[in-house]
Amino acid sequence: MRIQGRRASNIGCSRDNNEDFALVDNDLGLYIVCDGVGGNNAGEVASQLAAETIQRQIKAIRSDIQKSMTEGDLASIELFVADAIQQACKEVYETAQENSEQRGMGTTATVLLFLGNRAFMGHVGDSRLYLHRADTVDRLTTDHT
């Protein structure tokens, strides 16, 4: 099965700048949507930093992920995705502490990692993930506040 992702974003009606960041890595099978927390400083910085950190983390442990997949250790893959999101959270927080103009920045993160015929997701915030199959659309995530 070949997965081919694309990205698009719309600034919407409420903001002057777009704080969305979508990362598509078809070679890795990794798809990320991050949306800077509106009203906070530097949401566009937080969303890009989070997505790129998650991608870097997943790339760094790609061989461990493949090994877990081969061994059928799906729980470890879920932990790898969760750990990548935690690392992104840490980097966003630390970056915000280093620069007063970015203090308080935050972002949502919705991650989808395809491995073979399986998909693993990670999610924080209210950037939703949906499954569109046949003529139905099902929401796969629950919003966090």
Buried b / exposed e across 28-61, counting CB within 10 Å, b at 16+? bbbbbbbbbbeebbbbbbbbbbbbbbbbebbeee
On whether the pTM is more than 0.75, the answer is: yes
Compute the CA torsion angle 31, 91, 35, 84 (nearest 10 deg).
30
Quick one: tokens of 113?
């990692």
Residues 99-122: tens digit of each pLDDT: 888 888 999 999 999 998 999 999
Residues 65-107: tens digit of each pLDDT: 999 999 999 999 999 999 999 999 999 999 999 988 888 899 9
> Is pLDDT above 70 for 144?
yes
